[in-house]
Structure 1
C-alpha cells in the first residue's frame, strides 16, 4: 500500500531553510547545497510526521505538535531513546539518526530517522492481498509483538525507562487524567469505566517487559513483497509494564462495532483471536490461558477513547495532526460503552459458559447487532424498504455461515438479540421464510438456480415463499400431501392447494419453493421453483393469524391450477424433496427458538417494569408472592431454554443437521412452550392492557403460540424425541454387553 503524504498543513508549517542549515551541520548526508523538500504524512494523530527528501536520500521527521499540550504527552525524546536501543539490538525499527531539543530550529523538539520503504496497511481488512497473505501478515505482526516482549530490558540498557510493576494501575490513572484534561463534555460511561477499571485491577501486576503502548497493524512497515515486518513505528507511548496490555490493544479491533468508523471489521483469511493468542504464547513460551484478558481489552478501549478525546481537543485548539480529527469527538462515548460491555463479560464468553463460547468474530458481530438494534431498530415503528444502513454496516445475511463467516452458535446469540423485535430479522435480511429458502438454494441449488434466485435474495432485491402446509389434510404427516406434480415433456404440472404460506402476498415475492408429491400413489416428495406471479396461481389471504396479520407480512392460501414449470427448475432431483425439507428446517428451527428466547427476555422485562410500577391491595405487584414466583419461574425457564438451544447450535456446528435431530426437536418444543408461558405471565400482570394493541404482548403471544404448530407440531417432535432417545438408550445397553 502506498504511503500517503500531503503538503505540510498550515498549523504545522516550519522553516525548511533553518532545518536544512541545522542538518547540514549535524548530519553527514545533508549539505547546504541540497534541495530539501518536506511533505506531511496524512496518517498519524499524535506527533506530526514528515517525509524529508534530498536528491539522494529520504528521512522521516517526528516532532511535537505546536501550542499547549497535555501534560506528559508527545515525548519525542522517549521515542528516540527506545528506537536507538531497539535498533542496536536488531529489533525491526527505523534507524534513529539525531535528536534535537532546540525549539528554535523548527518551533518544537524533534528527531530524525531513516525512511524505510515498504507497505503500510491503514485498512485492517488488508485489501488487495490474498486470504493466505492476510493470515501471514497477522501472524508476522503478533510474532513481532511476542519477540518485543521477550527482549531483556537490562541488555537493552532500558532499565529505569519505565516504572515497572503496577503498570495497570498507572495506566488507568494516566488515561483518566488525560481524558479529564481533554474532556469537552461529561460522558458518564467514561466515568463508570474508569471506576470499574480501578476497582478491578489484576491481582498480580508484577510482570514487566518493554511495551509499545500503541501496537497496531497500521504502525508496521511490511516488506514490499514478503509477509515480514520491516519496522515498528510510533513509540511515543512505549514504557515498561504488563505485556498483555499490548496484546489486548492489538486484538482490540476484533471487538469494535463498525459504527465507530475508526477501522474496518476483520476480513476473510484473517486469523481468529484464539489463533493469534496461541501464536503469541508459543513464541513467548508461556501458557495459552491468559487470565483477565477482558480487563486488558477494556483498558485498551479506555485508552483509545482517551486518545480520541485528546485528538478532538487538539482539533478544537487548531493543532491536530490529521484532517479528520473532528470525527474523533463522536467516538469517545461508543468506545466507552464497548469497553464496559467487555469489562462486564465473563472471561469465558458472552454467556458466561465456556461450553458455548462464541468466536471473537461472533462476539464482535453480536455487539454490532446490539448497537444497531438500539440505534435504529427498536426506536422504529416500521421498516423502510429503502433503509440499507444494515447492509452498509456489514450486518447482512448473518444466518448463512458461508456468507457471514459465523457459526450456528455465533448466530444463536445474534438471533436472540433480534428476537426482541418482531421485524428485526427483516432488517438484517435474516427473516423467515427467506432464510430457509436461501439455505436450500445454497446447499442444493444448481449454479443457474443460484444465479437466478439466490443472489437476488441475498441482496434483498426479491422475496420468496415456502409452500408446504395444506388446508384439506393433516399436514403434520407429510405423506398426506395432496398437491401433485406430474411430468409433461420438458415441464412439470402442479395442481393443489397450500395455505399459511408466509410471504406469498409480498409485492417483491418472485419465487416459491413448493412441496409436491407425484401424481402416482408413491409418496415421493418434490421441490419445485416457480414464479409466484404466474397467471394460474391464485393467492388468497388466510384467516387472521390469531387475530393478527403482521407476522412475515401476512399468511396466504395459494391455489395451483395446472401450473407449468420447466424441468430444470427442480432442485437436486426428483424424489429428494423430503431430504431437502429436513435440511432446510434444521437451522431454521434453531433460529426461531433463539428468537423466542430474545422475545421472552423482552416479555420478562415488560413484566418486571409493570410489576414495579403498579399497586394493588396496598403493595406493588411484585410484592405479591404469586407475581414474585412468576418472575422467578420465567427466569428459570429462559435460562434453561437458552442453554438447551445453545447446545443444539453447537451440535449443529460440530455434528451436522442429521446428528443434531434430537437436540433440535427438543428445543423446538421447549422454546415455544417457554416463550408462551413467559408472555402469558406478562399479559396476566398487565391485565386488560396486555391483550390490547397498546403493548406488544398480544402480538408476541400470537407469534410464539404459532411456533408450537409451525415447522411441525409439538406432538410430532415429542414422538421424534422419544424414538431417538430409545434408539440411544438401546445403543448404550448394547455397548455394555
Structure 2
C-alpha cells in the first residue's frame, strides 16, 4: 500500500497502541516493547478500519472490526484472514497474513495483521501518469492474475463451506433487483426492463464454482513499484464462491460504458484511453491463461448484471443522499438514547428481543444505510424476525425492531420483513399444508421469491368484504377463479398470489404465471410510482384454473385465516409508522435549527416550537399504545386483542400523517419536492389510513367492542 494514503487515526477508531505493541512484541518479527511504534489509518477500509503499523525496521497492515456492539455475521475479519491465508499458501499474490487475534482486550475488537506490501495503487482506472505501453502491460497483468485466481483448486485450499457456490448469478440478480426496486424513488422503465431480462436469461452454467473476489478492480491491486505486474490483491471482504464470469465482466465493464457516463467515481468509462487493451484482447488473454474457449458463453448477461449492480448502487446512494442526509453520529446517538427509554417503559421485552433490536440498530447503521448485500443479514441471523416460530421473538420484541426498520423506506425488504410477504408467510406457516409449505413457504422464508395478496376489487366498496364479486368454483380436481382485483400489494417480482374472495370467504394460492392471470397495470399514489414494497397492481383473473390442493385450510375458511393474518401485520405497519415519524421529526428539527426567517431560527418561532412538542407527544403516545397492543397480542391472542389492534391502526395512521405533514410545512417548497423524502413518506403515511381497512371501519369496530366491554363490566357489578 502507498504510505501517503495513511493519515492520523480518526477519533472514532482510536485504540490503545501501547497494548497493541505489547501484544505484538515477541509474536511479530520487528516489533519490540522498546522500539518506536507508530499507527496511522488508511482512508480506505471504512467497513473494517485499516491501519499502517510502522517500527524502525518493518511495516505492517492491521484490519480490525469497528468499535461498538456488532452483528455475528458482519465485519468478518476472521473470514478475510482465512481466505488470505489460503491464497498465500497457494502462492497467490496477497499480503502475507501474520496473525489473527480474537482477544478484544488488546485493542477493543478482533483484528488481524498482515505484511505491508510496497507498490503502486491507482485510484483512477485510467492509470494517469504512465505511458500507453505501460498502461497496456498493467491491464494485462491484472487480467492474468484474475485468471489465476479463478484457476485455483478449491478442494486443496482448505476453504470448505467458504461460500454458497452454485446459483451465484440467480442470487445476485435477486438481490440487486430487490435493492433497486426498494430504493427507486421514481419509475425508470429501462431498469425494470433490464431486471426482467436478467431474470429471464440466467446463465445455463450458473453451477460453475470458483473463488471469486466480488470487487475486482484496478484500484484493489498493488502493482510492483517499477514493473508491470501485480504483487498483491487487496480487499477480500466480498469474496465468496460462485460463477467466475461475474468477476471478469465486472472488471471489463468500464470498457463498455459510454465515455460520458460515470456510475461511481471508481467506475468511469475507459473508452478512448490510449493503451488500455480492448475487451476482446483482455478476454483472449484471460481465456488463454485459464485454458478455456475464448468465446465466452453469455458474456452479455454478466456485463448486464455488472451494469445493473452498479446502477442499483447508484440508485441507492441517490435515495440516501436525501433520505439519510443527516449526521449519522447525531442520528444514531439519538436512536440509542431513545431505545433505552423504550425499554425503561416496557419491561416485558425479552433479553433476546433487546439483543436482536440492538443488532438490527447496528446493522442499519453499518450496512443498510451503506446498502450492503442481503446475504450478510441471513448469515447474521437477522432474517424473518417477524415470525415468532422462526425468530423466537415475541410480538413485543419485534415491535421495537419494526420501529427501527421504519426509519428507512426499504429497510424491511433487506431483513425479509416486508409486507405483504410477512402476512403471507404467517398464513402459510399457520394454515398451509406440508406440500404448500415446501413449495411456497420455504422459498419465501429464504428470500428466493416474492408474493402478493389480492383482496380489494375496483368495482365495489371492498371495506365491506361481503361486496366482493370475485368467484371461486370447484371443477373436479381444480378451482376456477374469475374476477378483478387491484391494490394487490407486492406484485412486482412475485411468483405466487394469495387470492381472497367472500361468499364463503375462501383463500387460494395462484402461481402468477398461471394462464388467465393478467397483470394489467401498476397503480400510482398521488400520481407517483409506488414500488417501495414491490408496488401495487391491478390483476384480472380470467377463469384461472388451479389445483384444488392450492386451497388454504378449506372452503369457507378465508375469514378465519384473514383474522390470523391481519393482527400481527397491522401491528408491524404501526410500529414502522412510529419509526417513520421519528425520522420525519429528526428532519424537521434539522431544518428548524438551520433555517432562519425574520431574524430568527425557525425553532425560535413559538409556533414551530409548539409543532415540535406536539410531534413528540403524538409519537410517544402512539408508541406506548402500539406496544400495549403488541403485549396484548402476545398474551391474549389475535381475537382477544382486536380492540387494541384496531385502536393503533387508527392512531398510528393519523399520527404519522400529522408529523410528516408538519415536517413538510417546515421545509416549505422543498418538503413537497423530490429533493427530500418527505413527499414519499407522506404518500406512505396517507395510504396507511386506508390500507387494511379505512379508519372509519376500525372506529366502528372499536365502538362496538368498547360497548361490549362496558356492558360486561356493568353485568359483573350486578
TM > 0.5 fold call? yes
| Alignment partners' CA distance in 2, 1:681 and 1:183 | 52
State whether residues 614 and 620 of structure 1, in contact with CA within 8 Å, keep that contact through their aligned partners in structure 2: yes
The Cα shift of 1:617 comes to 0.7
The Cα shift of 1:350 comes to 5.7
- Deviation per CA, 1:191-225: give whole Å up to 9, x if none: xxxxxxxxxxxxxxxxxxxxxxxxxxxxxxxxxxx
| Alignment partners' CA distance in 2, 1:614 and 1:596 | 27
Partner of 1:438: 425
| Alignment partners' CA distance in 2, 1:631 and 1:572 | 49
> Does 1:656 pair with 2:656?
no
State whether residues 407 and 653 of structure 1, in contact with CA within 8 Å, keep that contact through their aligned partners in structure 2: yes
Higher-Rg structure is 1
- Deviation per CA, 1:169-199: give whole Å up to 9, x if none: xxxxxxxxxxxx9994699xxxxxxxxxxxx
State whether residues 471 and 498 of structure 1, in contact with CA within 8 Å, keep that contact through their aligned partners in structure 2: yes
State whether residues 46 and 311 of structure 1, in contact with CA within 8 Å, keep that contact through their aligned partners in structure 2: no
| 1:516 equivalent among 501, 504, 514 | 501
- Deviation per CA, 1:647-694: give whole Å up to 9, x if none: 111111111111111111111001110000000000000101101110
| Alignment partners' CA distance in 2, 1:65 and 1:496 | 73
| 2:460 equivalent among 450, 469, 473 | 473
TM-score by length of 2: 0.56
The Cα shift of 1:259 comes to 2.7
SS in 2 for 1:568: helix
Partner of 2:599: 618
| 2:74 equivalent among 253, 259, 281 | 259
Partner of 1:307: 106
| 2:518 equivalent among 522, 538, 542 | 538
> Does 1:677 pair with 2:677?
no
| Alignment partners' CA distance in 2, 1:406 and 1:647 | 16
Q: What is the correspondence of 1:236-247 to structure 2 with a 5 Å cutoff?
A: none
State whether residues 577 and 685 of structure 2, in contact with CA within 8 Å, keep that contact through their aligned partners in structure 1: yes
SS in 2 for 1:499: strand
Partner of 1:377: 368
State whether residues 469 and 483 of structure 2, in contact with CA within 8 Å, keep that contact through their aligned partners in structure 1: yes
Q: May I ask how many residue pairs the two structures share in their alignment?
A: 437
The Cα shift of 1:464 comes to 0.6
| Alignment partners' CA distance in 2, 1:537 and 1:422 | 30
The Cα shift of 1:66 comes to 11
SS in 2 for 1:351: helix
The Cα shift of 1:568 comes to 1.0
| 1:501 equivalent among 479, 484, 488 | 488
SS in 1 for 2:74: helix
- Relative distance call for 1:404 and 1:675 in structure 2 (3 A) is same
- Relative distance call for 1:68 and 1:306 in structure 2 (3 A) is same
> Does 1:355 pair with 2:376?
no
| Alignment partners' CA distance in 2, 1:343 and 1:420 | 10
State whether residues 528 and 570 of structure 1, in contact with CA within 8 Å, keep that contact through their aligned partners in structure 2: yes
SS in 2 for 1:565: strand
- Relative distance call for 1:260 and 1:544 in structure 2 (3 A) is closer
State whether residues 353 and 393 of structure 2, in contact with CA within 8 Å, keep that contact through their aligned partners in structure 1: yes
TM-score by length of 1: 0.55
| 1:400 equivalent among 387, 401, 404 | 387
| 2:436 equivalent among 449, 458, 476 | 449
> Does 1:571 pair with 2:556?
no
State whether residues 73 and 376 of structure 2, in contact with CA within 8 Å, keep that contact through their aligned partners in structure 1: no
| 1:492 equivalent among 465, 470, 479 | 479
State whether residues 499 and 556 of structure 1, in contact with CA within 8 Å, keep that contact through their aligned partners in structure 2: yes
How well do the aligned residues superpose, as a CA RMSD in angstroms?
A: 3.5
| Alignment partners' CA distance in 1, 2:71 and 2:501 | 47
| Alignment partners' CA distance in 2, 1:701 and 1:657 | 29
| Alignment partners' CA distance in 1, 2:699 and 2:590 | 35
The Cα shift of 1:543 comes to 3.9
| Alignment partners' CA distance in 1, 2:598 and 2:663 | 19
SS in 2 for 1:422: coil
Partner of 1:158: none
The Cα shift of 1:358 comes to 2.4
| Alignment partners' CA distance in 1, 2:705 and 2:40 | 61
Partner of 1:580: 561
| Alignment partners' CA distance in 1, 2:28 and 2:522 | 70
Partner of 1:603: 584
The Cα shift of 1:539 comes to 1.0
Partner of 1:710: 691
Partner of 1:111: none
- Relative distance call for 1:456 and 1:693 in structure 2 (3 A) is same
Q: What is the correspondence of 1:55-204 to structure 2 with a 5 Å cutoff?
A: 184=39
| Alignment partners' CA distance in 2, 1:263 and 1:341 | 29
Q: Which runs of 5+ in 1 are unaligned?
A: 1-44, 49-62, 72-180, 188-252, 265-302, 318-329, 331-336, 518-522
State whether residues 476 and 712 of structure 1, in contact with CA within 8 Å, keep that contact through their aligned partners in structure 2: yes
The Cα shift of 1:533 comes to 1.5
State whether residues 511 and 531 of structure 1, in contact with CA within 8 Å, keep that contact through their aligned partners in structure 2: yes
- Deviation per CA, 1:367-392: give whole Å up to 9, x if none: 22112211222244xxx8x6422212
> Does 1:426 pair with 2:413?
yes
State whether residues 679 and 701 of structure 1, in contact with CA within 8 Å, keep that contact through their aligned partners in structure 2: yes
The Cα shift of 1:541 comes to 1.6
Q: Which runs of 5+ in 2 are unaligned?
A: 1-19, 43-67, 80-101, 117-236, 238-328
State whether residues 671 and 679 of structure 2, in contact with CA within 8 Å, keep that contact through their aligned partners in structure 1: yes
Q: What is the correspondence of 1:225-240 to structure 2 with a 5 Å cutoff?
A: none
SS in 1 for 2:485: strand
State whether residues 398 and 411 of structure 1, in contact with CA within 8 Å, keep that contact through their aligned partners in structure 2: yes
| Alignment partners' CA distance in 2, 1:445 and 1:607 | 45
Partner of 2:289: none
| Alignment partners' CA distance in 1, 2:78 and 2:549 | 45
| 1:734 equivalent among 695, 715, 718 | 715
The Cα shift of 1:262 comes to 8.8
| Alignment partners' CA distance in 2, 1:379 and 1:543 | 29
| Alignment partners' CA distance in 2, 1:448 and 1:312 | 46
| 1:631 equivalent among 612, 622, 627 | 612
State whether residues 415 and 595 of structure 1, in contact with CA within 8 Å, keep that contact through their aligned partners in structure 2: yes
Partner of 1:590: 571
Partner of 1:694: 675
The Cα shift of 1:535 comes to 2.1
- Deviation per CA, 1:400-422: give whole Å up to 9, x if none: 11111111111111111111111
- Relative distance call for 1:311 and 1:672 in structure 2 (3 A) is closer
State whether residues 505 and 556 of structure 2, in contact with CA within 8 Å, keep that contact through their aligned partners in structure 1: yes
State whether residues 350 and 357 of structure 1, in contact with CA within 8 Å, keep that contact through their aligned partners in structure 2: no
The Cα shift of 1:629 comes to 0.5
The Cα shift of 1:70 comes to 7.8
